Structure 1
Amino acid sequence: MSASSTNATLSPQSRERSLEAMRATSKENPLDVLVIGGGVTGAGIVLDAVTRGLDTAIVEAQDWASGTSSRSSKLIHGGLRYLQMLDFSLVHEALTERDLLLNKLAPHLAKPVPFLFPLIKQYERPYIGAGIMLYDILASLAPGKRAMPFHKHYSRKGMKKKFPSFRDDAAVGAIEYWDGTIDDARLVLTLVRTAASYGAHAASRTQVIELTKSGAGRVNGAVLKDLETGETFTVHAKHVINSTGVWTEETEDLAGGKGGLKVLASKGIHIVVPRDRIKGTSGLILQTEKSVLFVIPWSRYWIIGTTDTPWKQDFQHPVATKADIDYVLEHANAVLADPLTPDDIIGTYAGLRPLLQPEMKEGTSSAKVSREHTVAAPAPGFTVIAGGKLTTYRVMAEDAVDFALGAEAQGRPSVTNNIPLLGAVGLAAMANQTRSYQKKFGWSKQMIDHLLHRYGSMINEIVAICNDDPSMAQPVAGAEAYLRAEIHYAVTREGVLHLEDILLHRTRINYEFADRGLGALEDIASIAAAALGWDKKTTDSEIASYKARAAAEEAAENEPDDTSAEKVRLEAADLSPMEKLS
């Protein structure tokens, strides 16, 4: 089986073809693997399974990456703080995966970034330096070319040159080390599209509402509900793999019995501030009383986070509260010469980490739960994976498919360590051709970098749209960091079904602009409506829905706690509401 650029197109039409392929299954002719959950783990699993030659499908109840996998710190890293837990194997594994993404799998989506580790007292330098030295050594043990420079020590004066906004009395110096950043939502989308290019069936807004069993009690498929139409039907599969993150236990319950994994939902929020508000060329990693806080340089802004607090509310719509925002500001301002205020914040986002829940003593903080993953089989034919982190999605996927296949896995080993994602192959050659695009369309160097980061060698597909319609080469009105062609591309190639899919997951407009993208709605909606055939009623409904969501999220940020914030957020109805399973 080989990749096909035609199959890599996700659209309403490709979604319907995938659903039809699932409807056509039977007990006598089942899929090999059905994957439940369209976050990074599920997307990794469907690519792993289909590239082993298995007939595979993936379903996601909402949009691709709509949960945890679009709301992360956007880091690929070994987990420097796990060295404090002496978890060397986990750190080495994650560093290996980090470098694989940077060097081979997704060099367009992943980028190396330096971070400063401030030293509060001089006596910290030897032992913190030793830890970062060990981090570099573990990274050097990874196969292939080293992806990152080695760490460097800086005095207070040297640190100020690297990060002029650092407060003079907040540290005596720093150690600079390197990790990576990645566009998390685009990683998920690219994984799904890459899997589709090898023949996988992919359908978003499709919820599993029941698991089916054979007479012997083996899980042999699922009842799916198309949330766009309300239709339900059964899909048959030899193996069903559950990768639903914080929804793990809810999905497990569909299989009956008491087996499976327990998952703790921990909320993390991030704030976004303009790049010129903080002067620095490196990121920061700051130790707090609970965890760590990252100040991450990203595009035209800084991402600052995260928190780590138990989440007891509905899983679908975690939100940042006033208390969360104040916490992040307080800890960032402890080291900034010119403190940030709420007025500096142009956006926020909140996500839930699916942490494996061990037997914990009363009062144990969720921040001490390991990010290692576990695979289990609550019922024959039904595999569940939970835990882990963004960086190690590929290892998690390999383990899940190996576990599901059992002895069969020996004859069908994973090959994803040698499968570059769409946009990776030919990246250098395409980058060399971008000078002509700059000249032809009047694009800035920053715009070219932006396009290469998002599409890699597939930038030529954006150019083709602009060649067909020169108006597409212009910036989006109200969100000028993006081209109109990118909206058209999202709608025609990247599986968009609703306006919110564009603003939340195909772009980051929702939190990159202080108005949450409201000023760009008219232009974006006009492009989407033309491509998807929306009439005025549908277009108006999509715009109204997004406006209601934006208003609810903004109002939630002024609430003091999760309970009151969620109540405000849920005042905005969902376009494709999920069916309650319990």
Structure 2
Amino acid sequence: MSVRKNSQPPAAGDTRGRLGPDERAAAIAAMREPGAELDVLVIGGGITGAGVALDAATRGLSTGILEARDWASGTSSRSSKLVHGGIRYLEQMNFSLVREALVERGLLLQRLAPHLVRPVRFLYPVTVPVIERCYVGAGMLLYDLFARTGGRPPGVPWHAHVTRRRLGREAPGLRRDAFRGGLSYSDAQVDDARLVSTVVRTAAAYGALAANRVRVEGFLRVGERVVGVQAHDLETGERFEVRAKQVINATGVWTDDTQALVGERSTFRVRASKGIHLVVPRDRFRSKYGLLLRTEKSVLFVIPWGRHWLIGTTDTDWELDKAHPAATAADIDYLLEHVNTVLQTPLTRDDVEGVYAGLRPLLAGESDETSKLSREHLVVHAVPGLVMVAGGKLTTYRVMAKDAVDEAVAAMEGRIPSSITDDVPLVGAEGYRAAWNRRARSAKAAGVHVDRVEHLLQRYGSRTDDVLALIAERPELGESLPGADDVIGAEIVYAASHEGALHLDDVLARRTRISIEAWDRGVSAAPVAAELMAGVLGWDAARIGREVERYLERVAAERASQQELTDEAADRVRLEAPDFTGSADDPDAQDGPGEAR
């Protein structure tokens, strides 16, 4: 018996793509049904796994995706939130990687996710006149030309030269003696966690079966061939098997751990590199540009982010807990020290609203002497029935997914269509520009300020009407959460009913960014958000209290870890807070080996 295929596009106003608790239960029931066999099963719910599920589903393949924690709970919610070509790779002569990423940037901006991805302007400062300006300008010209080779408009303007005098007017928060002008250029930014959940929703809209909080604990084999997985539903405690013709391992920094469950030795490793970011208020210094600064180790970005600046990142090896990488006091001081060299008024620890740490999955060979770490991706048919995709970057997730599914279908019988995801808008993208044009009418009809509708449109696109409908039914859902003026109650309800949020942390850290954007990191919003989620997920008072307590423990542990000087000490302190992963009947259950991301 085969799982039903569904590759028909979602109609306007269709409810497919909803990731509520009922849809999760139905997906698990379909995957575990006796005799069922998927065409493709994806392990890992980060951006790569989400992209793989969408690619496979839109080819007409019966598809499932499992994630051990929450969608995007690993690397894919802790990035610099940039959709970019990687301008520094031009110096490394890696032109193909830069061009590929720039073409994908244009696709996301113009076609696939215009409601989530938007242009951002950066300054590349110069300190040496003439020679440096000409050298950097040549690189910028190449960057802009590559962006225009994809057959579609790039969605961003050309670079421009900025004089020292103009820089003083447009970036008065920078030290006058720091630069001799510079060049401005455009890239794009995205709420990375929302991108992932939206890609998963789109995959589900095309028939993919999606379930988070389901951990893969082993592989099913017939001889040498992988034919499925052993899965554990961490919400109910149930264990079951899922069978598939091809399994795709897209677990990022957990790739080696997942691969070890097969018992096969890999020809390469995935090493974790820790990068941290600081969130500071936008009013701490004035600039029309973000900044790209060179450091002795890498580059430092200062990125406009709504009412905030994101400052990052570091780049250090990490061999401790992968689920909760910890930022140290030394990491924070490193970023503040470097950004303060160019600011009129230095930032202090008191200016830091939020801190987050993430791990980059970098490819490494069997020894560091024979191969260098890479941001390129690799696809390997590790054993029959099991494809592994690793490396890469958020911007090129669609290409990684295409390559992984190409490798999987090469081993399948029959003629299978090629990838079409370069022309498949994500949920909320179709009709977004028309919705934006009528935003004033929508605001008036809903009885909310037009600024609120604009905020919702840039998060939900044309699905904003679904959120406004919640307010029409319950006007109190139009009110902001305590300590988080940009987030309203309807967004919390929608996260639980439509976006797969199963725990309080899922909402405060990923569906919204309250955990890094609020001064109290979501402490005052937590009880209100938990009550709102309870109505959707059926929590009783005890469960609400436990969710709030867990979240407060997480915040306290993160704050304490950020006072430590070493990775080891910070990791130890951070892990004192219990994890959210675990069934309602066994709230103290912890993650084990083989978790999928």
Question: TM-score scaled to structure 1, two decimals?
Answer: 0.97
* 1:475 equivalent in alignment to 2:480: yes
How many Å apart are 1:169 and its aligned residue?
0.9
CA RMSD of aligned residues (A): 1.6
- Cα separation, 1, equivalents of 2:405 and 2:336: 42
Equivalent residue for 1:507, pick from 502, 507, 512: 512
Match in the other structure for 2:298: 291
Cα deviations by residue, 1:136-193 (Å, 9 ceiling, x for unpaired): 1111212112311001001111112221111111111110011000110010000000
* 1:127 equivalent in alignment to 2:135: yes
Match in the other structure for 1:208: 216
- Cα separation, 1, equivalents of 2:477 and 2:125: 45
Structure 2 unaligned regions, length at least 5: 1-6, 582-589
Matches within 5 A, 1:33-44: 33-44=40-51
Cα deviations by residue, 1:339-383 (Å, 9 ceiling, x for unpaired): 10000000010000000013555699xxx7321100012211100
Alignment coverage as a number of residue pairs: 576
Match in the other structure for 1:525: 530
How many Å apart are 1:421 and its aligned residue?
0.2
- Structure 1 letter corresponding to 2:86: G
Match in the other structure for 1:17: 26
- Cα separation, 2, equivalents of 1:422 and 1:581: 30
- Cα separation, 2, equivalents of 1:489 and 1:483: 10
Are 2:269 and 2:366, in contact at CA under 8 Å, matched by a contact in 1?
no
- Structure 1 letter corresponding to 2:310: I
Q: Which secondary structure state, in structure 2, belongs to the residue aligned with residue 48 of structure 1?
A: helix
Are 2:482 and 2:524, in contact at CA under 8 Å, matched by a contact in 1?
yes
Match in the other structure for 1:3: 9
Cα deviations by residue, 1:413-468 (Å, 9 ceiling, x for unpaired): 00000100001000111112221233345544432221111001111111111111
- Cα separation, 2, equivalents of 1:363 and 1:327: 31
- Cα separation, 1, equivalents of 2:342 and 2:580: 42
Identity among equivalent pairs (%):
51
How many Å apart are 1:557 and its aligned residue?
0.5
Match in the other structure for 2:379: 375
* 1:322 equivalent in alignment to 2:349: no
- Cα separation, 2, equivalents of 1:20 and 1:376: 30
Structure 1 unaligned regions, length at least 5: none
Match in the other structure for 1:146: 154
Match in the other structure for 1:58: 65
Match in the other structure for 1:579: 592
- Cα separation, 2, equivalents of 1:542 and 1:279: 39
- Cα separation, 1, equivalents of 2:151 and 2:556: 48
* Displaced runs of 4 or more, over 6 A: none
- Cα separation, 1, equivalents of 2:592 and 2:159: 50
Are 2:272 and 2:317, in contact at CA under 8 Å, matched by a contact in 1?
yes
Match in the other structure for 2:320: 313
Match in the other structure for 2:419: 414
* 1:561 equivalent in alignment to 2:569: no
Q: Which secondary structure state, in structure 2, belongs to the residue aligned with residue 464 of structure 1?
A: helix
How many Å apart are 1:255 and its aligned residue?
1.2
Are 1:272 and 1:346, in contact at CA under 8 Å, matched by a contact in 2?
yes
Matches within 5 A, 1:81-160: 81-122=88-129, 123-160=131-168
How many Å apart are 1:483 and its aligned residue?
1.2
Match in the other structure for 1:399: 403
The change in CA–CA distance for 1:581 and 1:400 in structure 2 (over 3 A counts) is: closer
- Cα separation, 1, equivalents of 2:195 and 2:415: 28
How many Å apart are 1:516 and its aligned residue?
0.7
Are 1:260 and 1:378, in contact at CA under 8 Å, matched by a contact in 2?
no
- Structure 2 letter corresponding to 1:133: L
Cα deviations by residue, 1:497-528 (Å, 9 ceiling, x for unpaired): 11111001100000001101111122211111
Match in the other structure for 1:182: 190
Match in the other structure for 2:180: 172
* 1:423 equivalent in alignment to 2:428: yes
- Cα separation, 1, equivalents of 2:558 and 2:217: 28
- Structure 1 letter corresponding to 2:461: G
- Structure 1 letter corresponding to 2:266: G
Are 1:105 and 1:424, in contact at CA under 8 Å, matched by a contact in 2?
yes
Cα deviations by residue, 1:118-138 (Å, 9 ceiling, x for unpaired): 001113111111111111111
- Structure 1 letter corresponding to 2:402: E
* 1:466 equivalent in alignment to 2:474: no
Are 2:268 and 2:366, in contact at CA under 8 Å, matched by a contact in 1?
no
- Cα separation, 2, equivalents of 1:405 and 1:438: 47
Are 2:483 and 2:520, in contact at CA under 8 Å, matched by a contact in 1?
no
- Cα separation, 1, equivalents of 2:449 and 2:374: 44
- Cα separation, 1, equivalents of 2:115 and 2:544: 33
- Cα separation, 2, equivalents of 1:356 and 1:436: 50
- Cα separation, 1, equivalents of 2:497 and 2:368: 51
Q: Which secondary structure state, in structure 2, belongs to the residue aligned with residue 398 of structure 1?
A: helix
Equivalent residue for 1:272, pick from 266, 271, 279: 279
